[in-house]
Amino acid sequence: MFAATRLNRRSYRNQSVARAVFCLMTVALVIPVLLIVGTLVVKGGPAISWEFLFTPPRDNMTAGGILPALVGTVWLVVVALLASVPLGIAAALYLSEYAPDNLLTRTINLAIINLAGVPSIVHALFGVGAFVLFFRFGASILAASLTLAIMTLPVVIVATRESLQAVPQAFREACLNMGATRWQTIRKVVLPNSVSGILTGVILEVSRTAGETAPIMFTGATAFVAFLPESVFDQTMAMSYHLYYTATQATDVPEELTFGVALVLIGMVLLMNAVSIGFRVYLRGLKKW
């Protein structure tokens, strides 16, 4: 009575094949990541030292450390976040909580998605035109950061909007029915329950901001400055640009130094991701539903 029919056997076989194929795909995806990280650790690992992290480069980049680049990247990321996070969250709040569902809103949503697809070199040229020349910021941290901010704005908006919309509608209804205004509803119920998602967006943005090279090349990054930036109007070195420079522009740079730069850059991004994941787990624990 319970004997397997031919159909049973065939669907069982199909299921095994599907499983094997998907598993293989996943492994194939992991291999390059392991290779990249492995190569960086093996070739760049020996270069890493306190001296490497905390001194400026010497002898035409062929020796010394990466301190100005490290500090410069932190400057760029922080200033970019200061610009894009408030703007992005405000835009997402409007789109998710206030905007009526009409043609204009849908057009704006489409525009944001398209903005995410604009190549970074185009953003770079926009940054030169707008911030360096038109606003006369010159090549500076401010111009570079604003360019990065514009580029990563869609990431923040989309991530924030999605985490806002993940808050159950019933919470809003209950709150509004009690006579709360939209803003009270957002502040007391919607935002506290979407912080972890918003944070994910911000962290994604940080990683991307730290790694991008093209947008800062013409707007504020420079191959070498001996001093650390003191204000947003200074030019600065940056990790990503430093990597590009030591790998392709400077001559006689020892291989391990270049790999060391790459390793530190990837380490920074991974560290920030790890911190954010930890923070998210913590916030999720606070979540009330």
Partner 1 sequence: MVGLSAEAAVANHGAGPAYDEPPVIEVRDLSIAYGGKRALGNVTLDIHRHEIFGIIGPANSGKTSFLRALNRMDAFNSAMEVEGSICINGKNVNDWRNEYALRRRIGVVFPLPAGLPLTVYENVAFSPRLRGIRKKAELDEVVERCLRRAALWDEVKGRLDSLGSLLSGGQQQRLTIARALSQEPELLLLDEFSIAVDPVTTMRIEDVLKELRSELTIVLVTNLVQQARRLADRTAFFLMGELVEIGDTEDLFAGEVKDERTTGYIEGRFG
Site residues (CB under 8 A) for partner 1? 100-101, 170-171, 173-181, 184, 188-189, 192-193, 287-289
The residue (of 19 and 188) whose beta carbon lies closer to partner 1 is: 188
User: Cβ of residue 189: shortest distance to partner 1, in angstroms?
Assistant: 6
The residue (of 193 and 240) whose beta carbon lies closer to partner 1 is: 193
Distance CA 264, CA 211 (A): 11
User: Cβ of residue 28: shortest distance to partner 1, in angstroms?
Assistant: 41
User: Cβ of residue 176: shortest distance to partner 1, in angstroms?
Assistant: 6
The residue (of 1 and 170) whose beta carbon lies closer to partner 1 is: 170
Distance CA 53, CA 58 (A): 13
User: Cβ of residue 185: shortest distance to partner 1, in angstroms?
Assistant: 10
The residue (of 87 and 180) whose beta carbon lies closer to partner 1 is: 180
- Find how far residue 148's CA is from the centre of its chain: 10
Q: Which residue has the tokens 């095994």?
A: 16
Q: Which residue has the tokens 């909580």?
A: 97
The residue (of 117 and 179) whose beta carbon lies closer to partner 1 is: 179
Say if residue 44 is exposed, middle or buried (CB neighbours under 10 Å; 0-12, 13-18, 19+): buried
Distance CA 103, CA 221 (A): 40
User: Cβ of residue 173: shortest distance to partner 1, in angstroms?
Assistant: 7
Collapsing DSSP states into helix, strand and coil, what is residue 236?
strand
